[in-house]
């Protein structure tokens, strides 16, 4: 549980989705004195809602957070990071938290944890493969990892593209991992036997794929968050085809799934957020407003009966798309 708290807190601490001007109001607040106070206010307040630090972390937690910030190239001189870390540890210790409730019951479980090799890598999407291995993306260090739970052996692969920021991860029916490189216009696959890394460059240099979906024939679909497109990668030919998302180039498509013969994804910058259905056979789009706004649908899944589910991070909601009529759609495109 200790490690879980660190990573959850760190993920919040380094989220750099906010505009600096939107948080300028926080820079006037009084913060603990120290030699790094001004650097802390100007740098941390330039990217985050700076009040997030008030929750506090353990010293180990702050070491993880600052290492992640270094991996994100936060503009702090290398020689000042020790002082910055000391300031954060001293100024924002972990606050009191509820004592965990450990309840007895009939189920028997054994929870295992493994430390990943690279500090501050921000382990992202985990996926379990059919051979029992566990894959994950190390978003901040351009790595993909494979864990063998039987012996604890870990293998790491470094993306050949600097700052490619491996993000969405899927494993196809053949056991091949596919990743969206959010920091580059690329999608990559890894041969699970040789651990060789193969990248597919998307047509637009501005493309930033974020999440992936697999159709029944293992064709790769992706949401281009930066450009507002839905894209398809034919893994046999390397051909890429794209469609503009209904709400335009700034609609920020994000979470995506394939179910009931269609692609379903969320536009996270449209107001309100939308659920979009795309029929790959006809090329037809249909969309619906998410009740309550939906902000921000980062990921989606599918129920056992094939209905899309999603979570709205900022509205504190989860949602279910009940598809009243299953539309016949072929995956032969």
pLDDT of residue 261: 95
Task: Give residue-wise pLDDT tens across range 261-271.
Answer: 999 999 999 98
pLDDT of residue 326: 52
pLDDT of residue 201: 97
Judge whether 138 and 145 are in contact, CB under 8 Å.
yes
DSSP secondary structure string, 54-96?
A: GG-B-HHHHHHHHHHHHHTT-S--GGGHHHHHHHHHHHSBPPP
Residues of the chain with pLDDT under 70: 1-29, 45-49, 97-98, 100, 325-333
* Alpha-carbon torsion, ordered 169, 171, 176, 179, to 10 deg: -10
Q: Left (φ > 0), alpha (ψ -120 to 50) or beta: where does 175 sit?
A: left
Q: Is the peptide bond before 296 cis (omega within 30 degrees of 0)?
A: yes
Size (the chain), residues: 333
Domains and CATH numbers, the chain: 2-91 (no CATH), 122-200 (2.40.10.500), 202-333 (2.130.10.10)
Q: Is the peptide bond before 272 cis (omega within 30 degrees of 0)?
A: yes
Provide the β-strand partners of residue 311.
318
| Alpha carbon distance 127, 142 (integer Å) | 17
Burial of residue 163, with CB atoms counted within 10 A of its CB: 0-12 exposed, 13-18 middle, 19 or more buried: middle
pLDDT of residue 316: 73
pLDDT of residue 308: 93
Maximal C-alpha separation, the chain: 65
Q: Left (φ > 0), alpha (ψ -120 to 50) or beta: where does 27 sit?
A: alpha
Judge whether 254 and 273 are in contact, CB under 8 Å.
no
| Alpha carbon distance 95, 167 (integer Å) | 31
Instruction: Look at residue 139 and give its three-state secondary structure.
Output: helix
Task: Give residue-wise pLDDT tens across range 314-330.
Answer: 777 788 999 986 554 43
pLDDT of residue 333: 39
* Alpha-carbon torsion, ordered 208, 213, 216, 220, to 10 deg: 10
Structure tokens at 236: 């046999």
Q: Cα separations (Å) of 290 from 5, 119, 182, 263, 315?
A: 31, 38, 25, 17, 11
pLDDT of residue 49: 67
pLDDT of residue 27: 42
């Amino acid at each position: 549980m200790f490690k879980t708290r660190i990573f959850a807190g760190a993920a919040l601490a380094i989220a750099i989705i906010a505009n600096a001007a939107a948080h300028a109001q926080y820079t006037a607040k009084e913060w603990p004195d120290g030699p790094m106070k001004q650097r802390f206010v100007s740098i941390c307040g330039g990217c985050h809602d700076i009040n997030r630090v008030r929750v506090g972390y353990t010293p180990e937690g702050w070491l993880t957070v600052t290492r992640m910030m270094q991996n994100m190239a936060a503009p702090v001189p290398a020689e000042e990071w020790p002082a910055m870390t000391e300031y954060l540890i001293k100024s924002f210790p972990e606050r009191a938290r509820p004592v965990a409730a450990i309840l007895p019951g009939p189920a028997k479980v054994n929870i295992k944890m493994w430390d990943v090799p690279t500090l501050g890598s921000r382990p992202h999407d985990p996926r379990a493969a059919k051979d029992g291995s566990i894959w994950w993306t190390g978003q901040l260090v351009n790595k993909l990892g494979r864990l063998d739970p039987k012996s604890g052996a870990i293998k790491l692969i470094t993306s050949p593209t600097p700052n490619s920021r491996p993000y969405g991860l899927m494993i196809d029916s053949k056991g091949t991992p596919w990743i969206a490189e959010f920091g580059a216009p690329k999608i990559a696959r890894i041969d699970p036997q040789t651990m060789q890394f193969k990248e597919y460059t998307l047509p637009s240099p501005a493309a930033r794929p974020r999440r992936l979906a697999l159709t029944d024939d293992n064709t790769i679909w992706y949401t281009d968050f930066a450009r507002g497109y839905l894209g398809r990668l034919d893994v046999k030919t390397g051909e890429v085809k794209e469609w503009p998302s209904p709400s335009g180039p700034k609609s920020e498509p994000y979470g995506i799934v394939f179910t009931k013969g269609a692609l379903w994804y969320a536009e996270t910058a449209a107001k309100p957020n939308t659920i979009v259905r795309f029929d790959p056979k006809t090329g037809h789009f249909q969309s619906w407003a998410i009740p309550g706004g939906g902000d921000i649908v980062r990921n989606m899944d599918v129920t056992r009966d094939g209905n899309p589910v999603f979570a709205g991070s900022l509205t504190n909601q989860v949602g279910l798309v009940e598809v009243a009529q299953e539309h016949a759609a072929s995956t032969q495109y």
